[in-house]
Each structure stands twice: as structure tokens, then as C-alpha cells.
Structure 1
């Protein structure tokens, strides 16, 4: 059995206000070509399919066009996709009846039956080979929202509710599978020990709670296809617990990430190999600085002129980072003048001040976009009340924030 593991597409994402549809289109065309070459039995998309709970129409068209094209190219392919923390679970599931006709399973939420049991049937998906025989079982674990894993049957312990979902689903899968059929989990979560991208990953940790332990997936699970962290990585060095990472850099902090899709091969229940396929970049991200203004302007002037055969959509996105002693009102004008006739698209100017009264090294001037909602709330609370926010209040704020972020607005 062969799987392809990908995640964190963030369709509809903009980079400091700049549309990135060209890059997503190029990735999906590349992925479709990989499917026709590698002939996988299943494609696993581990959450954050869209960048927001209300994605633009073009982003939705990209997803559904890809699903149709993949089915036409390889009719035996099973696609399993789950909602991430950026997605609306109900939106992901809305076209599910239609997508099942294309062998695509969309899971956005976990549900509980009237007797308090987890509805495992909808979360357990048989994976079949080219002849239609079940060769594995997929355990679909979309991002688990607090309202889905707490309540009368589970109590109010968020992490405890998550543990119960994992335990019940794995037990149901083990009861259902036949000898030789591996269990493959797909999950959108922040696992303990994972390396985080500072600028573009929304925190999944609730208040003071820790990231999830890898022990949630016992040894009966042969592979765990993870989403949420944008940097490709193994969890605690385990071959079977993997983040595929995002297919394009979603912020300048990810400029050096090796963006990829993972090919996962099984023989029976035995994991044979995990092979990375690098995703070519349709558009580069370029950083100039941090450096003094004269140096920055000289570097910008040295950038290449546009290739007459290439379109503007292929010009790299540019972040300029300048160290100043004092504010420069004409800074943007000087930067834009240096970029005239250059093959680059300026999306951000970041300023650092090196002045008396500060440390001798450059001190970054924090911008609102660089702070998490938790940091903004904590600082506002301290300014208003003169003391640090307590854990209970911070937890309540983060739960309200997640409820607002994770459901579509009317």
C-alpha cells in the first residue's frame, strides 16, 4: 500500500495582503502530476486546507477542481481530508455526500451518540487497493475543539477528552481490522517536541496546557500523518509520527523550510519507507537585511532586472529589514526607488532601532502582526489592572478566541 501525506495548504492565504493563488495553483498541478506518477492508494490531507473559516471562492474552487482532477486521473485513489484549526469543520463537511462519489472523505468534527459513545463509524475509513480490497484503516482525527471533547459524558478536562477520543477510536479500529491491515491515523494537532514556525502557526495550546503527547498513538498505529506544524519533522525521532509540513512557505520565517509531500509505503502491517518529494517553489521569498539603510539600499539596487520571458507573478516576494538610529519619514520612498526596475515585489518593511538608552545590539520594534492574540490580551490586561493575567482568565479568553476563529461568521 502506498500513501501520500500532505497538510497545511492554507488555500486563500495572502502574504501581507498579497494574493498567492498562483503559488497554490502551481502546487496542486505538481501534486496531480505526482499522483499520476506514483499511483498511491490514498492521499491524506492533514488539515488547514483553507487559511480561514470563510475562504474566498477561488480557494474553494481550487480544492474541488483538484479533487475532481485527481479522481479522473486515478479513479482508484481514496482521498481523506480533515479540518485543521484554521478550517471550519462544518464547511469542510458540507459537500461530503457529493465528494464520497469521488472517493473523497471529508471529516471536520467528532460526534457523540445518544448513549455517550464516540461515533467511530464516521471516523474509520477503509483504504482499498486498486482491486477494491481493504488493505488498511484510516483513523480520521480533525482538530479537536473544546466543545467536542468536553461535556456531560466526558467532563471539563480538555486534554482528558482528547485522550478519550484517541483511546476509543484506536480500540474501535483494532476491533475492526483484519490481520495484515495497518492502522493509519491522520491528525491535526500540536505534538509535544515539535518545532514551531513563529509567524504563521496559530497556537493550539489552551492556556497553560501542554502540547499533546505522542503516547496518544500506541504501537498498534503504524503511521500518523500529522498537520499543523509547517516545518517537516518527525515527532521525537519516530519514523511513524510525521509532519509533512506546508507545501509553500507561509511566512518569511519559513523561507528555508524544505517543503515537501511524503510518500509512505507499507507491506502488510509493516511500514517500509517514508520518502520525501520536494515541492518546487513557484515564487521565491527573499529577505534583505537586517542592515543599515545605506547597505540595504545598495543590496536592493544590486537585485536583478526582470526576466522578459517571466511574468510578474513569478517575481519573488521581498521583505526588507532596516536598522535605523531614528525614524526616517521617507524610508518607504527610498526603498521603492531602489527597487525600480527590479524583479521583486515588496510586501513588508521591518524596522529595528539602534539608539542610545537601548541595548547596544539592534532591538526589534515589535509590530502588532508579530504578536499572538494571547500576548496582546496579556499585555492589555497588565496595562489595565497592573498585574499579570491569571491562568483561569487566560484560559477563558483562549477558549472564546477559538470559538470565534473556528466557526463561520454570519
Structure 2
């Protein structure tokens, strides 16, 4: 059985106000080509399909056009997609009855039956091979929100609730599978030891809970397709527990990431191989600086000239970081003049003052955009500015729970 593992598409994302639809369209066209050429049995999309809980219509059209196109060229392909922390679980599941006709399974939430019994049937998906026989079972684990794993029958411990979901679902899968059938898990979570990019992944901290232990996925699981972290990586060095990463760089901190999908092959219950398929980058991201203004303008002057015959949509996005000795009211005008007729698209200017950020070689005092701060960090800074002391952990826990309640209300269709 061959599986493709991808995640963190973030359809509808904008980069400092600039639309990324062209880049997503190029990726999805490339992915359709890989499906056609390699003929996998299964496509796994491990969450954060959209960038927001209320994605633009164009982003939703991209997803559903892709699913229809994949089904038309590979009628036997099974697609399993789960909601991530950026997604609305309800929205992901809304068209599920229609998508099942296209052999696509959309799981956004964990549900419980009476007396606290996990509704495992809806989370266990048979994965047929080319012959039509069930070669594996998929354990679908969308991003688990506290309201889904705590309560009267489960208690108030979020991490313990997550552990119970994993234990019960794995037990149900082992009871259902026949000898020779693999168990494949797909999950959207932050696993302990994972490497996080500087300003892309939204924090998953709930109270004091953050990273989950890899021990949640015992040796009975042949492969774990993870989403959430944008940098491709193995968890604890294990070949079978992998983040494939995002298909495009979602921030300037991801410029050097290798963007890819994973081509996974299982023989019976055994994981045979995991190969990397590198995704061509449709649009480059460039970061120049931090440099003093004169040096920065000199570097900008050396950028390639605009080719009037080239596609504007393929011109690189540019972030410039400038070190100032004093305020420069016409800073943007100077930079934009230097970039006149250059083959780049300016999306961000970050100004830092010498002596505070770079005089001692320390970047920690550099200006930070609000979109680079997690809600918890922003709250902590506001508390310190208001009261003159660090916020205590109890207040942070209360804020985290309030934030979770607000996010859940926003996700209601």
C-alpha cells in the first residue's frame, strides 16, 4: 500500500496582507501530477487545511476543486483529511456526506456516545488497496480541543483526556483489524521534541499543557502522519512518526525549510519506506538585513531589474530589515524608490534601532509584529505594562481557557 502524507496547506493565507492563492494553486496542480504519476492508494491531509476558521470562498473552492480533480483522475484513491487547530471542525465536516461519494473522509471532531464511550467507528476508516481489499485502517485524530476530551465522564485533565482518546481508539482499531492489516494514524498535534518555526505555528498551549508524548502512538501503529509543525522532521528520530511540513513557506522564518510531501509504502503491517518528494517553490521569499540604512539601500540597488515579460505572480516576496540611528520619516519612500523597477514585491519593512537591538549583537530587542506573538505572549506583555510585574501562572491558565472558549464560539457554523 502506498500513501501520500501532506499537511498544513493553510489555504486562504495572506503574507502581511498579500494573497497566496497563486502559490497554493501551483502546489495543488503539482500534487495532482504526483498523484497521477505515482498512483498512491491513499492521500492523508493532516490538518490546518485552511488558515482560518472562516476561510475565504476562493480557498474553499481550491480544496473542493482539488478533491474533484483527484477523484476524476484516480477514482480508487481514498482521501482522509482532518481538522487542525486553524480549522473549524464543524466546517471541515459540513460537506462530508457529499465528499464520501468522492472517496474522501473529512473528520473535524471527536464525539462521545452515552456513558462516555468514544464514538470510535467514525474515526476508523478502512483503507483499500488497488485490489479493493482493506489493507489498512486509518485512525483519524483531528486537533483535540479541551471541550472534546474533558467533561463529566472524562474529568478536567486535558492531557489525560487526550491519552484516553488515543488508548480507546487504538484498542478499537486493534479489535477491528485482521492479520496483515496496518494501522495508520493521522493526527494534528505538537509532539514533544518538535522544532517550531519562529512565527508561524499558532501555540497549542492550553493552561500548562503543550507538547504531547510520542508514547501515545505505540508500536502497533505502523505509521503516524502528523500535522501542525511546518518544518519536516521525525519525532524522536523515529522513521514511523513524521511531520511532512507545509507545502509553501508560510512566513519569512521558513525561507530555508525544504517543502515536501512524503511517499509512504507499507507491506502488510510493516513500514517499508518513506521517501521525500520535494515541492517546487512557485514564489521565492527574500529577506535582506538587518543592515544600516545606507548598506540596505545599496543591496536593494543590486537586485535584478524587472522583466516586463515575466509573470508578476512569480516575483519574490521581499522583507527588509533596517537598523536606524534615528527616526526616518521617509523610510518607506526611500526603500520603495530603491526598489523601483526591481523584480520583487515588498511586503514588510522592519525597523530596529542601533543600541537597543544590535549594539551588543543581541537580536532580542528587535521590533516584533503583533502577528509574531502568540495570544499568551501578547497578554503577558500587556499585563506587565499595566501592572509592572509578571503575570502569575494561575492567571495565564484562566486566560488560556477564556481564549479557548472564544475560539470555539467563533467556529460555530
TM-score, normalised to structure 1's length? 0.97
Partner of 2:225: 225
Q: Does structure 2 conserve the Cα–Cα contact (< 8 Å) formed by 1:83 and 1:108? A: yes
Q: Does structure 1 conserve the Cα–Cα contact (< 8 Å) formed by 2:190 and 2:210? A: no
Displacement of 1:209 in angstroms is 2.0
Q: Does structure 2 conserve the Cα–Cα contact (< 8 Å) formed by 1:354 and 1:361? A: no
Distance 2:241 2:29 in 1: 27
Distance 2:170 2:369 in 1: 44
Q: Does structure 1 conserve the Cα–Cα contact (< 8 Å) formed by 2:109 and 2:142? A: yes
Distance 1:268 1:350 in 2: 53
Displacement of 1:311 in angstroms is 1.2
Distance 2:170 2:41 in 1: 22
Distance 2:412 2:331 in 1: 38
**Total equivalences in the alignment:** 410
Partner of 2:404: 402
Does 2:263 match 1:260?
A: no
Distance 1:310 1:133 in 2: 49
Displacement of 1:230 in angstroms is 0.1
Displacement of 1:385 in angstroms is 3.2
Distance 2:400 2:145 in 1: 12
Distance 2:361 2:290 in 1: 12
Q: Does structure 2 conserve the Cα–Cα contact (< 8 Å) formed by 1:86 and 1:405? A: no
Worse-superposed segment, 254-263 or 127-136: 127-136
Q: Does structure 1 conserve the Cα–Cα contact (< 8 Å) formed by 2:89 and 2:411? A: no
Residue among 387, 390, 404 paired with 1:388: 390
Worse-superposed segment, 394-403 or 359-368: 359-368
Correspondences of 1:163-182 after superposition (within 5 Å):
163-182=163-182
* 1:156–1:263 distance in 2 versus 1, CA, 3 Å: same
Name the SS for the 2:29 alignment partner: helix
* 1:336–1:409 distance in 2 versus 1, CA, 3 Å: farther
Displacement of 1:387 in angstroms is 2.9
Partner of 1:17: 17
Residue among 361, 364, 371 paired with 2:373: 371
Distance 2:356 2:255 in 1: 33
Name the SS for the 1:132 alignment partner: coil
Distance 1:81 1:367 in 2: 32
Which blocks of at least 5 consecutive residues in structure 2 are unaligned? none
Correspondences of 1:204-223 after superposition (within 5 Å):
204-223=204-223
Q: Does structure 2 conserve the Cα–Cα contact (< 8 Å) formed by 1:354 and 1:360? A: no
Correspondences of 1:3-402 after superposition (within 5 Å):
3-355=3-355, 359-361=359-361, 363-402=365-404
C-alpha RMSD of the superposition: 1.4
Distance 2:43 2:176 in 1: 22
Displacement of 1:391 in angstroms is 1.8
Distance 1:409 1:324 in 2: 46
Distance 2:251 2:129 in 1: 38
* 1:357–1:97 distance in 2 versus 1, CA, 3 Å: closer
Describe the superposition over 1:122-170 as per-residue Cα deviations: whole angstroms up to 9, x where unpaired. Answer: 0000000122110000000000000000000100000000000000000
Distance 1:385 1:360 in 2: 29
* 1:356–1:191 distance in 2 versus 1, CA, 3 Å: closer
Which blocks of at least 5 consecutive residues in structure 1 are unaligned? none
Distance 2:37 2:198 in 1: 35
Displacement of 1:358 in angstroms is 8.3
Distance 1:369 1:331 in 2: 22
Describe the superposition over 1:310-337 as per-residue Cα deviations: whole angstroms up to 9, x where unpaired. Answer: 2111100000011111111111000000
* 1:353–1:134 distance in 2 versus 1, CA, 3 Å: same
Displacement of 1:409 in angstroms is 6.3
Q: Does structure 2 conserve the Cα–Cα contact (< 8 Å) formed by 1:326 and 1:355? A: no
Distance 1:120 1:98 in 2: 21
Displacement of 1:370 in angstroms is 2.4
Q: Does structure 1 conserve the Cα–Cα contact (< 8 Å) formed by 2:16 and 2:347? A: yes
Name the SS for the 2:35 alignment partner: helix
